[in-house]
Every structure is written in C-alpha cells, then in structure tokens.
A and B are shown apart, each in its own frame.
Chain A
Amino acid sequence: MKYVEEYRDPVAAQQYAEAIARTVTRPWTLMEICGGQTHSIVKYGIDELLPKEVMLVHGPGCPVCVTPLELIDKALQIAARAGVIFCSFGDMLRVPGSSGDLFSVKAAGGDVRIVYSPTDAVQIAVQNPDKQVVFFAVGFETTAPANAMSVFQAKQMGVTNYSVLVSHVLVPPAMEVILGSPNNRVQGFLAAGHVCTVMGYEEYEPIAKTYKVPIVVTGFEPLDLLQGIYMCVAQLEEGRCEVENQYARSVRRQGNVPAQELVAKVFRVVHRKWRGIGEIAQSGLGLAPAFAEFDAETRFGVSAYKAEEDSECISGLVMQGAKKPQDCTAYGKRCTPDHPLGAPMVSSEGACAAYYRYRRLRNDDLVNVGSKSHG
C-alpha cells in the first residue's frame, strides 16, 4: 500500500534501532502521548527493538480511556430513554459504566448506533424528526473539529432534535500535570501527530522551555515512531529541550487554522474530569454559550449526576506513566478485555488492552520463536 508500506520497512526500522543504540549513553524514559502510538508500538514490538537504556511509558492519549465514569453513566442513562437515538464512535460502546455498557443498553432495547462521523448523526436527526438524536462527542483535539462541525451544521440547518454529550479533553494540560507531579519520571515526549495536525505545535514550545523537556511531534507508523524516538534521545543526549517535528508530512507549526477557528467558535475551554486522573483545570472543551442549546446534559437533565471509580483499577497511574499495566494486581485476572475494570482495557488504544492482546508471551515460554517458522 503506497504511503504506508514505506513506513513499515523492516530494514530501515533496524537501521533506526541501531542508530538509537549508537546514540544512547545512559537511561532515558520517554512517553508517547497518544493511544494510537501505544497500539503501534506494542503491535509491531517496537520497544523490543530499542536498547535497554530507552524505556517507553504510555501516555494518557486514549480518548476512550480518559472519558470519566460519570459521563459513561450519563450516556447509558440517555441512551436507555425511549425516543432517543444514541450515536457513538464504535469503541465507546464497550466502555464499562457503573452498570453495563452501551452494548447492554442496546441489548435491552435502546437505539444505539455506531457512526463513522458526527455529521452522520446530524443526518440521522434530519431523517428522524420525531426522535432526539444524541452524539457522544469524546476525544482529543483530533476529533473536536468534526464534532464542532456537526453542532455548527445543526444550528445552521435548524435541526433542533440534535444534541451532543461532550467530554472533549486537551493534551497540553495533561502533559503539565504529568511533568508537575513529584513522581514524574518522563524525560521526553513523543507528541501525538494527529492532535498536532489540527493544533500545530506552537503551544508545546512553552512546555518544553518551562519543564526543560524535549518534545517530538511523532506519527504512528513504525518508522515514524523509531525516528521520533531517535530525535528525542538525540536531544536528551545533547542536552537540548526543543519542540521538533518528525511528522512533517502531516503537521505544520500553525496546524489547521480553519479547524481551530471552528473549534473556538463552537466550544470553549472548561475544567474536565479525566478517568483515573481526576479533574484538571482548563483541560477540556465544553459547548460555547452560543451553542448551549445543543448540550445533551442539560437537555436530558443529567448534569448533576456524579459517580466514583473502581478503587482497584490503577489506570490513572498507567496513563501518567507511573506504572505499567502488568503492575496492576487485577491485570489479566479480574480485568481482561471481556471484563474490563477500567477503560484502558477496553479500547484497542488503551495501554492495558494493547499489552493484553500482544504481550502475554513471557520470554521463558518462547522456546522456538528465535528459529524460522518454516523451512
């Protein structure tokens, strides 16, 4: 496949891994921000190609994982109502709330639909004027423009039976929480390529300067990740702390300005609760006053609802890079993709699920793996 295969070339990958090994002289801990990057790293075994000095910890950038429990509960409450069509991206359907998930609401008769774009949900609203259509607007800066567009279109078209349940979060405030923590061990970041495609990377420059930490905007393919790691390690070894752009084929410094303008028009920056982490000031998006009529929480009277999270799940520590999934006592036992305690075990981008799916081989189990599989 053109424009993809090139970034998965095994020979080039090996060369990058060797270059990293030649550059590194002491231990460094890097965090990849985005769940999509975590998924690639574990799927392709990229961390196994790295020298032992370079440790990757997995960041909070999985939208499914950081959506707070009480918002999932609100979604379940709204989706279960008669006369509601509840639309969501696919991987939100399996995220456990306090009781059940959206799949179980669907099984009990709720009209829950997977859509590929929020503007599809607006179309469903147009086609079903006697129903209330709600879209579950979650995600980072990446999904915000399309979600904003759906609200903007609905307003323009006078679609009054459409609303959004919003839980948008922003990357930079989460990075500052991680860097400001007394337990922080992250020394360099691979910033999320897709987020930066929208937002650019100007907003990371003050973070790099204040916390003296290199930040490399990085893509999602194996060679992107290896090159991003190489650039980050090189900065650390040279004592630099700059924002660099590995993902230049997609990301410009100023980002996608029309998309940012639309987001700024429809949304405003608000405090947000993050699952497993807690409330972070000015860390998310909510609807701007001019679009408040599209707020599903108000429309369905669920704004005041609160819920507490399972105490055994350490997803907050996993998503801040303080713990690895296998450090959790429930991992692989009481918590599996079939019976997740916390959201990182649900989404394929969640660190726990990625480890569970790809990492259950212990080295001592692998007797034959070094040899060729067939001859």
Chain B
Amino acid sequence: MAEAKSFLLQCPTSLNDSERVQLAHGGGGRRMHELLEGLLLPSFNNQLLLERHDGATLNIAGARLAFTTDSYVVKPLFFPGGDIGTLAINGTINDLAMCGARPLYLSSAFILEEGFPMELLRRVVESMRITAAEAKVQLVTGDTKVVDKGKGDGIFVNTAGIGVVEHCLQITPSAVRVGDGVLLSGDVGRHGIAVMAMREGLSFESAIESDCAPLWGPVAALLEAGIEIHCLRDLTRGGLSSGLIEIAETANVRIGIEEMLVPVQEDVAGACEILGLDPLYLANEGRFVAFVPQHDVARALDILSQHGVSSGAVQIGQVREKPAGMVTMKSRLGTERVLDMLSGEQLPRIC
C-alpha cells in the first residue's frame, strides 16, 4: 500500500506521464482536472480560484460582481440550433448566471486565420449581436488578431463577462448541503450529438438541434421568488456526470440520482445507442442543475417550468452524506452504481 501511495499525483509539478498536451486535457474529464490541479490552481493559488466555480464573485467598492471568461473553438462553426457566435455569448452569460449574477457587459476577442471567408465572419458577428441583444448584455470591448494560414482553425472566439450579484446568497459548490434536492433544467445530450452528427457527417431522420440558450431568465426568476439556491452549474463539457462529480468532490457529499428521472430526448438516446455514447457525459449549452433545500423544491420546479429554456425541469436526485465525493446512480433495474469522471473524450466503440 505504501508503494501505491507514491503514485497519487498530488505534487504541483507533476503533470502525470504525458509530456505533450492532448485533446483530453481540454475534454472536461479527469485529464483536464489533472491539468487544473497539477499546474493552474497551484500556480495562481488564491481563494477565489479555489472555489472552482464557473466564475469568480468579487467584492469591489461595495458591489458584488461576478467575472468569467471562456474560449470557443467549436467545429463545425455552424450546427443545428446555433453557431460559434451564439455559443460565445450564451456560454459566458451562462457562466455568470451560474454565479447568480445578472450578466451586464462582455468582451470579445477573435483569433482569425488568414483566408477565413469574410462572409462567415459576418454571420458569426451577426449571431453574436442578436444573441447579446436578446439577453440584454452589451459587448463593450474586444480584440482581433490574425494568424498565418494553417496556424489557426478558421476562427477562435474568446469572451469574458461581468455581471452583478443582487442578492445575499452564496451560490457555490461548497454551499451544497446534505438533503438538498438536485434539479435538472431539461433533457440532456442534445448539443453534444448535434455537433458530433454534423462533424462526422452522421445523418438521422431529423436533425438533432443544440440546446444552446441563455440561462439567466430562469435563474433570475428563482432568485426573485426567494428560492434559497445553494449551487448552480451549467452542464457543458463533460455533461451532467462531470458537473455533478465536480460538485460532489468540492462539497464533500454524495449526490444520488436516478437514471429513470434524467430526461433524454428519444432521438438523442437513439444516436447514443448507435455510437456507444452515454448521454450523461455529452455536452449541453442550455442546461443546468440547481441545488436547493428540499422545502424549496416544489416551488423551484414550478418557477422553472414557466420558462421555455427550463420548461422540462425535474428533480433527479438528492444530496446524501456518504460516501463523500461521489455521484451514485440508481439504474432502471434498481441497482446502484458509481458515475465516474471520464478519462478523456468519449470514444465511439468498435462494435
């Protein structure tokens, strides 16, 4: 056992055995965690960063502000239900919303590859304009860089955002309590399948649309109604499973969910069967989980159901005490299993 312990990778300088960055380091799974815990968190060590939330909540001159950033490198650039522009605006708005902050101002930086068609750039910018206007946020600063042909992939977009926190709650993973209800705002897996189907040229009877959408509306409604929100998390890379595992680890609790209660659209479930993928690990761009005390569950679900983007909200489980740091799922047959964080990207199976 003593020998085994020396293999635990907690040394800040150890980045396990891979000497080069691999795609899995950006995949939202365990490899990305190793990168965060092995390099980034120890390097920039501070309390705000260690909260491991979607954004940082700052106290500045008497105001509570939320601050976040995200980069968008999606391929294909345009897919059913959205494009890189809608993602870049909604993604950052959603990270602010998950801090319980009203999104106000965004920045945007473009890294463009020489030769990228101006027509496509116009379409992306127009999507960003419309999406920002609908969400009532302003894009107030930005940057543009062009790299040599072959040194980029058409277009990369980074957005950062600032929002204001207008309530006294601490909405963060460490605020999750044993007994909290786990609410999911709708069906999962659509964005992941929409993008994969487009990228790999897979066609289904009808196009599966991304769920890409801004999430501030339902969050604002929960706050206005005085729901005691403990934690919010949008379920992007790594999907529902990875989001819940991160929260269980940070809050040091067990999150117990039931497979039968997690909504998955039929065509998404079918695509997953064919490709050997698990919808619980697929990316979403308009879904979140909310942790609220059990006494607020019914009222919170009622409020969420009144917003289009969260009209399919359901309770999928509850926070338990032990074993801490784990997510368990009751299968449809009534047996219990652990949900594990993915090691890298989900890989389609051989047969």
The interface of chain A, by Cβ under 8 A from chain B, is: 1, 4, 8, 10, 13-14, 36, 42-46, 48-49, 63-64, 89-94, 103-104, 106-108, 114, 116, 138-140, 142-143, 194, 222, 333-334, 337-339, 347-349, 356-361, 365-369, 373-375
Q: Indicate if the CB atoms of B20 and A91 lie closer than 8 Å.
A: no
The interface of chain B, by Cβ under 8 A from chain A, is: 4, 7, 16-18, 20-24, 30-31, 34, 181, 200, 202, 254, 256-258, 266, 269-270, 273, 275-276, 294, 315, 317-318, 320-323, 326, 328, 330-338, 340, 343-344, 347-351
Q: List 20 A-B contacts (CB under 8 A).
A: A14-B334, A44-B331, A45-B336, A49-B335, A107-B20, A108-B20, A116-B275, A116-B348, A339-B16, A348-B349, A357-B340, A358-B337, A358-B340, A359-B337, A360-B338, A367-B320, A368-B320, A368-B321, A369-B256, A373-B330
Docked complex Cα distance between A256 and B332 (Å): 33
Please give the distance in Å from A371's CB to the nearest CB on chain B: 9
Q: Indicate if the CB atoms of B318 and A10 lie closer than 8 Å.
A: no
Q: Indicate if the CB atoms of A333 and B7 lie closer than 8 Å.
A: yes
Q: Indicate if the CB atoms of A222 and B347 lie closer than 8 Å.
A: no
Docked complex Cα distance between A210 and B21 (Å): 53
Q: Indicate if the CB atoms of A334 and B7 lie closer than 8 Å.
A: yes
Which residues does chain A contribute within 8 Å of B320, judged by CB atoms?
367-368, 373
Please give the distance in Å from A224's CB to the nearest CB on chain B: 13
| Residue in chain B with minimal CB distance to A34 | B351
| Residue in chain B with minimal CB distance to A46 | B333
Q: Indicate if the CB atoms of A10 and B332 lie closer than 8 Å.
A: yes
| Residue in chain A with minimal CB distance to B297 | A374
Which residues does chain A contribute within 8 Å of B31, judged by CB atoms?
338
Q: Indicate if the CB atoms of A43 and B331 lie closer than 8 Å.
A: yes
Which residues does chain A contribute within 8 Å of B344, judged by CB atoms?
94, 103
Q: Indicate if the CB atoms of A365 and B331 lie closer than 8 Å.
A: no
Q: Which of B322, B334, B337 has the most chain A CB atoms inside 10 A of its CB?
A: B337
Please give the distance in Å from B338's CB to the nearest CB on chain A: 5
| Residue in chain B with minimal CB distance to A103 | B22
Q: Indicate if the CB atoms of B347 and A116 lie closer than 8 Å.
A: no
Please give the distance in Å from A109's CB to the nearest CB on chain B: 10
Q: Indicate if the CB atoms of B181 and A222 lie closer than 8 Å.
A: no
Known contacts A14-B333, A90-B347, A94-B343; 5 additional CB pairs below 8 A are A89-B349, A90-B349, A103-B22, A360-B326, A374-B317
Contact status of A361 and B336, CB under 8 A, knowing A103-B24, A333-B4, A334-B4: yes
Please give the distance in Å from A192's CB to the nearest CB on chain B: 10
Please give the distance in Å from B7's CB to the nearest CB on chain A: 6
| Residue in chain A with minimal CB distance to B331 | A44
Which residues does chain A contribute within 8 Å of B21, judged by CB atoms?
107
Please give the distance in Å from B323's CB to the nearest CB on chain A: 4
Please give the distance in Å from B154's CB to the nearest CB on chain A: 19
| Residue in chain A with minimal CB distance to B276 | A348
Which residues does chain A contribute within 8 Å of B257, judged by CB atoms?
373
Which residues does chain A contribute within 8 Å of B331, judged by CB atoms?
43-45
Which residues does chain B contribute within 8 Å of A337, judged by CB atoms?
30, 340, 343
- List of 5 A-B pairs having minimum Cβ-Cβ separation, nearest first: A45-B335, A90-B347, A333-B4, A365-B323, A90-B348
Which residues does chain A contribute within 8 Å of B347, judged by CB atoms?
90-91, 93-94, 114, 348
Docked complex Cα distance between A358 and B328 (Å): 9
Q: Indicate if the CB atoms of B333 and A49 lie closer than 8 Å.
A: yes
Please give the distance in Å from A325's CB to the nearest CB on chain B: 14
Q: Indicate if the CB atoms of A357 and B322 lie closer than 8 Å.
A: no
Please give the distance in Å from A193's CB to the nearest CB on chain B: 11
Q: Indicate if the CB atoms of B349 and A91 lie closer than 8 Å.
A: yes
Please give the distance in Å from A314's CB to the nearest CB on chain B: 16
Which residues does chain A contribute within 8 Å of B18, judged by CB atoms?
104, 107
Which residues does chain B contribute within 8 Å of A49, judged by CB atoms?
333, 335
Q: Indicate if the CB atoms of A44 and B20 lie closer than 8 Å.
A: no
Q: Indicate if the CB atoms of A374 and B22 lie closer than 8 Å.
A: no
Q: Indicate if the CB atoms of A338 and B30 lie closer than 8 Å.
A: yes
| Residue in chain A with minimal CB distance to B348 | A90
Q: Indicate if the CB atoms of B333 and A64 lie closer than 8 Å.
A: no
Docked complex Cα distance between A303 and B335 (Å): 48
| Residue in chain B with minimal CB distance to A91 | B347
Please give the distance in Å from B9's CB to the nearest CB on chain A: 9
Docked complex Cα distance between A119 and B160 (Å): 43
Q: Indicate if the CB atoms of A194 and B351 lie closer than 8 Å.
A: yes
Docked complex Cα distance between A309 and B173 (Å): 43
Docked complex Cα distance between A324 and B31 (Å): 27
Please give the distance in Å from A271's CB to the nearest CB on chain B: 22
Which residues does chain B contribute within 8 Å of A365, judged by CB atoms?
322-323
Docked complex Cα distance between A347 and B320 (Å): 31
Which residues does chain A contribute within 8 Å of B321, judged by CB atoms?
367-368
Q: Indicate if the CB atoms of B322 and A367 lie closer than 8 Å.
A: yes
Docked complex Cα distance between A306 and B200 (Å): 35
Q: Indicate if the CB atoms of B349 and A349 lie closer than 8 Å.
A: yes
Which residues does chain B contribute within 8 Å of A10, judged by CB atoms?
332-334
Which residues does chain B contribute within 8 Å of A43, judged by CB atoms?
331, 337
Docked complex Cα distance between A327 and B301 (Å): 46
Please give the distance in Å from B147's CB to the nearest CB on chain A: 18
Please give the distance in Å from B153's CB to the nearest CB on chain A: 15
Q: Indicate if the CB atoms of A45 and B351 lie closer than 8 Å.
A: no
Contact status of A114 and B338, CB under 8 A, knowing A1-B270, A365-B322: no
Which residues does chain B contribute within 8 Å of A1, judged by CB atoms?
266, 269-270, 273
Please give the distance in Å from A273's CB to the nearest CB on chain B: 19
